[in-house]
Amino acid sequence: MNKLLKTISVLVTCMALSPAAFAQAANGNGGCAERVDIGYYKIERGRQDEWLALYQKWHRKVMLYEIAHGTAISSKLYETASHSPGMPWDFAIINVYPVKPPAHPISRPELIRKVFPDLKAYVAAEKQRWALTVDHWDEALLEMNTDEPLSVYAPVDGFCKPAAAP
């Protein structure tokens, strides 16, 4: 029992001191706007073209399926336009999702099986793509309604307008 309490205490302390615990909440901004996700990828030096070929052949097809079925609006791949010391990423993928996407017609595993019947080849290619990835992180952006007073502290409706009173 004492060991359990000590473990719980350590976990609670770690969660309380994590950067996420101090993050500023959006207070309502973006809840009714399209969702924008950005994935950043740092690739092993000199192997960017290999990563791009794997991305194009394998992962891109999943995103095209989602776009065709309305669960995503767009998916665009970007490279950095400048070179500077310590550049943290080589490629960024920006995916835009609708406010209220339709239900996925099939689950992600079913989608992968459908698009890639040769699962061994798919798994090997994804393993290789991730082996080339030195670093990766995702960001989600919330659009702010610039037609309203802007604040990250005050609760705002953003694009979510409350129902008008009768």
Distance of CA 96 to the CA centre of its chain: 10
Dihedral sign from CA coordinates of 145, 150, 151, 157: negative
Residue 79: strand pairing partners: 91
Dump pLDDT digits (tens) for 46-55. 999 999 999 9
Q: Which pLDDT value is given to residue 25?
A: 46
Dump pLDDT digits (tens) for 15-43. 444 444 434 445 555 668 889 999 999 99
Distance of CA 20 to the CA centre of its chain: 16
Residue 3's pLDDT band (cuts 50, 70, 90): low
Mean pLDDT of the chain: 82
Indicate the fold that domain 35-136 takes in CATH.
Answer: Alpha-Beta Plaits (3.30.70)
Q: Does pLDDT of 8 surpass 80?
A: no
Dump pLDDT digits (tens) for 67-102. 999 999 999 999 999 888 889 999 999 999 998 888
Q: Does pLDDT of 114 surpass 60?
A: yes
Residue 13's pLDDT band (cuts 50, 70, 90): very low
